[in-house]
C-alpha cells in the first residue's frame, strides 16, 4: 500500500505540495524548513551533538509550557502512526508517491539508508510552536536481507546489549522490568567532543506489539532524563530534572518492522526536545543540526542492521542476557 492514511492526516512527500484543505487535526509531512539537509539512544545523541557544536551552555530551565507543547506534538505523531496502522500501513515510505516509493525501496535493498526530516503541522496548517524549545523530528528506513522478524526483535528489545551494540555512546544499559509487551529500561548515554563531554541517565517506558506475522512495532518514551555531572567520578551527581544544559529534555521514538520475502524492512522515527538555540546562532547551527541529525539516524539503523547481520553469521557478541526476543502480544 502506497497511499496516505486518511484525508485528515496525510503524509506527503517534498515533491507533493501539502493539501489545500484539511480537518482541524495535526498533519505530518517531511520538513521543508532551513534545518533540512544523526530507540532511545539516537534520540538522545541528536540534540546533544547539535548544541555542543557552539560551546558549553549555561544552565537552562525546562518550562511547563515547553513540555506541554512538546507532549502535544509527540502525541500527534503517535496518533498519526496509529491511524496508519489501522489503515494497514506500517512504513513511512509506503506513503510516498509510487515513483518515489519504488526508488527508495530499490535503494534500501541495495544497502542504502533512507533518512528525512519530518514535521507536524498544527490545525491551522502551520508548524507547531514550541516556546523556549526546539524539536528534532526525523525518520529513517533500511533493509536487512535474509533476516526474520524474530531476529530483528531479538536485537531491538535486548536492552542489556545496547552498551555493546551502540558503544561508545551507550555506556550503560539495563532492563528494569518486563511485563507482557511493556518494558522499563535505563540507559546511560555519553557524547564527547574535543572540548566537552555530556552524560545523561535516562529511564524509558517501552511498548511493543506484533500486529500480525509480518509486522511488529514499538513506542519508546523517556520518563526521566537527568544530566550527569562528573560522570564516573567520586563526586558524580545528577542535575535536577529540567535544570541543566538543555541539550536533551525529551524524546519519543517509534520502531516499525515489516518482514518481506527476502528480509525485513526496519524504520525508526524520533521526536526529541532540546533548548532553543540563541537567535544569533541559528543560521549557523541549523545546517550543523541537519547534518548531525541525519548522521544519528543513519548510525542507529546501521548499528542495528550490523548487529542482526552478525547474529545471522553466528558471531557471538558479549551479553548479560539470553538475547531471546520477547514474546510480543498481538495488537488487539
What's the pLDDT band for 65 if we cut at 50, 70, 90? very high
d(C-alpha 165, C-alpha 163), whole Å: 6
CATH number assigned to the domain with residue range 38-312, chosen from the 4 options 3.30.200.20, 3.40.50.300, 3.30.590.20, 3.30.530.20: 3.30.530.20
Confidence at residue 313, expressed as pLDDT on a 0 to 100 scale: 84
If one compares 144 and 12, the residue with the highest pLDDT of the two is 144
Q: What is the mean pLDDT of residues 291-299?
A: 84
Q: Is the per-residue pLDDT at 259 higher than 50? A: yes
Q: How confident is the model at residue 108 (pLDDT cuts 50, 70, 90)?
A: very high
Asked if 244 and 259 count as a contact pair (C-beta separation under 8 A), the reply is: no
Angle among Cα 37, 49, 158 to the nearest 5 degrees reads: 100
Question: Does pLDDT of 4 surpass 50?
Answer: no
Q: Give the residue from 78, 195, 54 showing the smallest Cα distance to 134.
A: 54
| pLDDT in the model for residue 168 | 79
**23 vs 173: which has the higher pLDDT:** 173
Confidence of residue 21 (pLDDT cuts 50, 70, 90): very low
The predicted model gives 246-256 an average pLDDT of 92
Rounded Cα distance between 193 and 60, Å, is: 21
Average pLDDT over residues 50-68: 73
Per the model's pLDDT, the better-predicted residue between 141 and 279 turns out to be 141
Q: What is the pLDDT of residues 166-216, one digit of tens each?
A: 887 889 999 999 988 899 999 998 877 666 788 999 999 999 999 999 999
Mean pLDDT value across residues 154-172: 89
Strands (E), 211-320: 215-229, 237-238, 243-244, 250-260, 263-275
Mean pLDDT of 145-166: 92
pLDDT at 18 over 50: no
Place of cell 567520586: 234
Higher-pLDDT residue of 135 and 278 is: 135
Residue 126 has pLDDT above 80, yes or no: yes
Adjacent-strand bridge partners of 184? 177, 205
Give the integer Cα–Cα distance in Å for 48 and 200.
10
Model confidence at 267, in pLDDT bands (50, 70, 90)?
very high
pLDDT tier at 5, thresholds 50, 70, 90: very low
Q: Using one digit for the tens of pLDDT, what is the confidence trace for 227-242?
A: 999 898 999 999 999 9
| Mean of pLDDT over the chain | 80
pLDDT reading at 293 higher than 50: yes
With a cut of 80, say whether residue 89 has pLDDT above it: yes
Rounded CA-CA distance 150/160 in Å is: 17
Amino acid at each position: 500500500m502506497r497511499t496516505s492514511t486518511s484525508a485528515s492526516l496525510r503524509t506527503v512527500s517534498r515533491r507533493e505540495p501539502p493539501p489545500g484543505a484539511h480537518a482541524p487535526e495535526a498533519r505530518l509531512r517531511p520538513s521543508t524548513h532551513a534545518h533540512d539537509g544523526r530507540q532511545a539512544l539516537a534520540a538522545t545523541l541528536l540534540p546533544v551533538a547539535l548544541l555542543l557544536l557552539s560551546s558549553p551552555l549555561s544552565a537552562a530551565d525546562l518550562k511547563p509550557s515547553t513540555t506541554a507543547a512538546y507532549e502535544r506534538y509527540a502525541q500527534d505523531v503517535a496518533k498519526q502512526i496509529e491511524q496508519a496502522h489501522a489503515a494497514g500501513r506500517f512504513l513511512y515510505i509506503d506513503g510516498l508517491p509510487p515513483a518515489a516509493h519504488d526508488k527508495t525501496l530499490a535503494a534500501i535493498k541495495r544497502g542504502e539508508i533512507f533518512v528525512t526530516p519530518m514535521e507536524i503541522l498544527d490545525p491551522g496548517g502551520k508548524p507547531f510552536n514550541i516556546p523556549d524549545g526546539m524539536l528534532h523530528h526525523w525518520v529513517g528506513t533500511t533493509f536487512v536481507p535474509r533476516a526474520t522478524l524474530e531476529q530483528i526483535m531479538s536485537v531491538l528489545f535486548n536492552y542489556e546489549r545496547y552498551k555493546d551494540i551502540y558503544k561508545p555512546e551507550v555506556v550503560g544499559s539495563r532492563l528494569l522490568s518486563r511485563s507482557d509487551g511493556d518494558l522499563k529500561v535505563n540507559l546511560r548515554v555519553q557524547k564527547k567532543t574535543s572540548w566537552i563531554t555530556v552524560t545523561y541517565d535516562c529511564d524509558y517506558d517501552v511498548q511493543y506489539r506484533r500486529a500480525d506475522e509480518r509486522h511488529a512495532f514499538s513506542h519508546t518514551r523517556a520518563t526521566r532524563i537527568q544530566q550527569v555531572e562528573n560522570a564516573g567520578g567520586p563526586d558524580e551527581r545528577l542535575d535536577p530534572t529540567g535544570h541543566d544544559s538543555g541539550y536533551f529534555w525529551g524524546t519519543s521514538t517509534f520502531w516499525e518492522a515489516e518482514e518481506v520475502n527476502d528480509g525485513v524492512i526496519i524504520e525508526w522515527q524520533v521526536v526529541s526536545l532540546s533548548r532553543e538555540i540563541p537567535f544569533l546562532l541559528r543560521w549557523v547551527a541549523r545546517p550543523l543540526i541537519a547534518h548531525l541529525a541525519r548522521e544519528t539516524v543513519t548510525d542507529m539503523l546501521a548499528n542495528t542492521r550490523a548487529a542482526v547481520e552478525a547474529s545471522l553469521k553466528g558471531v557471538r557478541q558479549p551479553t548479560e542476557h539470553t538475547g531471546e526476543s520477547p514474546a510480543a502480544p498481538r495488537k488487539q
